[in-house]
Amino acid sequence: MPRVLSKELKNHIGKKVELWGRLYSLRELSNELAFVNIQDRSGLVQFVFEGIKIDAKVGSIIKASGVVKKEERAAMGVEVMGESIEIIESPKEELPFDISKKTLKVELSTLLDHRPLTIRHETIRSIFNVYDTVLNAYNEVMRDMDFKEIKTPKTSGAASEGGANFFTLEYFDKKAYLTQSPQLYKQICVGAFERVFEIGPAFRAERHFTSRHVNEYISLDAEFGFIKGYEDIMEMLTKVIKHIFKKIEEKNQKDLELYKAELPKIPEKIPAIKLQEMKKIIKEKYGYEMSKDTDIDPQGEVYAGQYAKEKFNSDFIFLTHYPKRKRPFYTMLDDENPEETKSFDLLYKGIEISTGSQRIHNYDNLIKSMKDFKVNPADFEHYLHAFKYAMPPHGGWGMGSERIVYKLLNLGSVKEAVLFPRDVKRLHP
The interface with a second copy within residues 288-327 (CB under 8 A) comprises none
Angle at CA of residue 234, ends 226 and 128, nearest 5°: 115
Smallest separation, CB 169 to a second copy (Å): 5
Enumerate residues 162-201 that contact a second copy by CB under 8 A: 167-172, 174, 176, 178, 185, 188-189, 191-195, 199-201
| CB of 149 vs a second copy, minimal distance in Å | 5
Closest to 68 (Cα-Cα) out of 12, 19, 117: 12
Compute how many residues bind a second copy; rule: CB under 8 A. Answer: 97
Least distance from a second copy to the Cβ atom of residue 201, Å: 5
| Contact residue for a second copy among 84, 155, 294, 299 (CB under 8 A) | 155
Q: Maximum CA pair distance of the chain?
A: 83
Counting contacts by CB under 8 A, is residue 32 touching a second copy? no
Q: Which is nearer to a second copy, 168 or 337 (CB)?
A: 168
Shortest gap between Cβ of 330 and a second copy (angstroms)?
Answer: 14
Q: With CB under 8 A as the contact rule, which of the stretches 14-22, 29-37, 234-242, 318-326 interacts with a second copy? A: 14-22
Among 132, 231, 232, 295, the residue binding a second copy under the rule CB under 8 A is 132
- Which of 48, 67, 74, 95 contacts a second copy by CB under 8 A? 95
Segment 370 to 409, residues that bind a second copy, using CB under 8 A: 381-383, 385-386, 388-393, 401
Interface with a second copy, residue 226, by CB under 8 A: yes
In angstroms, what is the minimal distance from the CB of 113 to a second copy?
Answer: 8
Q: How far apart are CA 137 and CA 249, in angstroms?
A: 11
Residue 70 · residue 89 · CB < 8 Å? no
Can you tell me the distance from the alpha carbon of 191 to that of 18, in angstroms, rounded to the nearest whole number? 55
Nearest to 37 by CA among 50, 48, 24, 27: 24
Q: Strand pairing partners for 264? A: none
Strands 61-70 and 16-30: antiparallel
Nearer to a second copy, 393 or 395 (CB): 393
Distances (CA, A) of 20 to 3, 16, 54, 70, 93: 7, 14, 16, 20, 21
How many CB atoms within 10 Å of residue 5?
A: 15
Q: Is 41 in the site for a second copy (CB under 8 A)?
A: yes
Amino acid at the residue 400:
G
